[in-house]
Structures are given as structure tokens and as C-alpha cells.
């Protein structure tokens, strides 16, 4: 995973809302995510479009998914963002000492 993949993934406002929803409540199906985006954010993208957003987030390492029967559950993985933030914070701390 490259930093560019993470930045590309979070550049889109819909993907940021998906991450917000997964931060608030992890382990959601596509249907649940779509419902929450519609009800809470008035985002009326198709399930296919949200699925594509989830695929990009997963490719960037920001979302992990698991299958349980016919359902696929999505959860947030903050590790890629934490690595970027830690790198910047560590540089800043070194410069100020």
C-alpha cells in the first residue's frame, strides 16, 4: 500500500462518509452502508457505486471485509492513516527538539 493510494481513497467525499459511518459502527453490509448514507447524509448513489467505493477503500487498506454466508461485512482499518500521521508527527517533533 502506498501513501498515494490512501490519499486517493480519502479524496472523495462519499468515501470519507463511508469511513465516518464505519468508524461510528463497524461490521456493516453494503445494504446497511447504503441505507445510512441515504438517511444520514442524503447520498443516493447506487449500491454498485458504493460497492466500487468500498473496493477502492479496501485496495488502499482502509477497509477490510469478511464473508459470512451470503453477506459481506465491512470494517474500518485506520492503520494506513495512523502510519501517515505518525510519520508527520515524528518529523515535527524531531524538528522542534
Mean pLDDT value of segment 74-92: 87
Comparing C-alpha atoms, which of 50, 71, 49, 53 is closest to residue 62?
53
Instruction: Check if the beta carbon of residue 34 is closer than 8 Å to that of residue 73.
Output: no
Mean pLDDT value of segment 65-69: 96
Tens digits of per-residue pLDDT, 32-54?
999 999 999 999 999 999 999 99
Give the model's pLDDT for residue 92: 65
d(C-alpha 75, C-alpha 33), whole Å = 11
**CATH assignment, 3-96:** 1.10.10.10
Mean pLDDT value of segment 65-79: 96
Domain boundaries, the chain: 3-96
Q: For the chain, what is the mean pLDDT? A: 92
The model's pTM: 0.86
pLDDT at 1 over 60: no
Amino acid at each position: 500500500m502506498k501513501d498515494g493510494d490512501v490519499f486517493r481513497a480519502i479524496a472523495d467525499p462519499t468515501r470519507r462518509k463511508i469511513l465516518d459511518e464505519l468508524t461510528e459502527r463497524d461490521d456493516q453490509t453494503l445494504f446497511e452502508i447504503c441505507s445510512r448514507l441515504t438517511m444520514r447524509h442524503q447520498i443516493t448513489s447506487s449500491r454498485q457505486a458504493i460497492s466500487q467505493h468500498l473496493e477502492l477503500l479496501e485496495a488502499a487498506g482502509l477497509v477490510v471485509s469478511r464473508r459470512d454466508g451470503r453477506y459481506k461485512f465491512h470494517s474500518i482499518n485506520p492503520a494506513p492513516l495512523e502510519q501517515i500521521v505518525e510519520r508527520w508527527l515524528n518529523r515535527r517533533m524531531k524538528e522542534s527538539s
